[in-house]
Amino acid sequence: MAWCVLLLASALALVSDETRYQYVRGPDGTPHLVDLWLKTSDLKEIASEGLLGLTNYNPQRRTVVLMHGWLDNVNADFNTVLVPAFLDAEDLNVIVVDWSAGAGHSLGAHQAGIAGRNLGGSVAYITALDAAWPGWITNDDKFRSTDGVYTEAIHTNVGLLGYIGDLADVDFYPNGGINMPGCNSQDCDHS
Q: How far apart are CA 72 and CA 70, in angstroms?
A: 5
List the beta bridge partners of residue 129. Answer: 154
Among the ranges given (2-6, 109-113, 152-156), the one the predictor scored with the smallest mean pLDDT = 2-6
Q: Is the dihedral of CA 38, 75, 154, 159 positive or negative?
A: negative
pLDDT single digits (tens) 122-142: 777 788 888 888 888 888 889
- Hey, which of 42-46, 96-100, 114-118, 165-169 has the most confident mean pLDDT? 165-169
Residue range 82-102: average pLDDT?
A: 79
Q: Is 163 exposed, middle or buried (0-12, 13-18, 19+ CB in 10 A)?
A: buried
Q: Which residues are catalytic?
A: 106, 130, 190
Comparing 124 with 9, the larger pLDDT belongs to: 124
Grade residue 189 by pLDDT with cuts at 50, 70 and 90: low
CB 65 within 8 A of CB 38: no
Alpha-carbon torsion, ordered 183, 184, 186, 188, to 10 deg:
-40
pLDDT exceeds cutoff 70 at 101:
no
pLDDT single digits (tens) 37-61: 667 776 655 554 444 556 677 878 8
Q: How far apart are CA 159 and CA 110, in angstroms?
A: 16
pTM of the model: 0.61
